[in-house]
Amino acid sequence: MAQKKCNYVPDNSTPLQEKFINYLMNDGKKNVARKIFKDTLSLISEKDKYPDKVFEKAITNIKPNLEVRAKRIGGAVYQIPVEVKPERQVALAFRWLIGASRAGKGAPMSKKLANELLAAANGEGASIKKKEDTIKMAIANKAFAHFARY
C-alpha cells in the first residue's frame, strides 16, 4: 500500500506543539508521535492554508474555564464549580482531543486527529462537546460554589 507523500513541512514547532507531541506519545516512541503530528498537519494543510493556526484555534476552543471538583463536607459529597488554571486548561484540552481521536475506529490516527482538530477549530466535535458538558455541570452546581472556601 503506497503512502501519500507529505506536502506540509513545518519550519519549527512551537512549545505548545512539542507539549502536544509528548501527550500523543505512547511507550516513549516520540518519533512515531512526531510523524503522526506531522501527517496530521499535512492533512489539515490540504483543507486550510495555515495548519498551525488551525491547531492553536482548536486548542483555544477546547480549553475549559470552569470544572467541578468533588468535596466532602459533613458526610456529603458536593460537586463544587471551580475555575481552571491555565496550565490545567491546556492539559485537559490535549487529553480530550487525543481521547476523542483515539475513540474513532478504522482510520489512521493522523486522519482521526486531523478531523477532530478541524471540527474543534470550527466549534464542533467530541472534544468541544466534552468541554460544554463540563461547563454545563459547573453551572448546574453553582449553588454549591460557597463551599469552595472550605
Q: Please, what are the domains in the chain?
A: 15-149 (1.10.455.10)
Cβ atoms of 87 and 23 closer than 8 Å = no
The residue with cell 512515531 is 32
At residue 66, the 3 state secondary structure works out as strand
Q: How confident is the model at residue 150 (pLDDT cuts 50, 70, 90)?
A: low
Greatest alpha-carbon span in the chain: 63
- What are 73's three cell numbers? 463536607
Cβ atoms of 140 and 77 closer than 8 Å = no
Give the model confidence (pLDDT) of 94-136 as tens digits. Answer: 999 999 999 988 899 999 999 999 999 999 999 999 999 999 9
Give the model confidence (pLDDT) of 17-29 as tens digits. Answer: 999 999 999 999 9
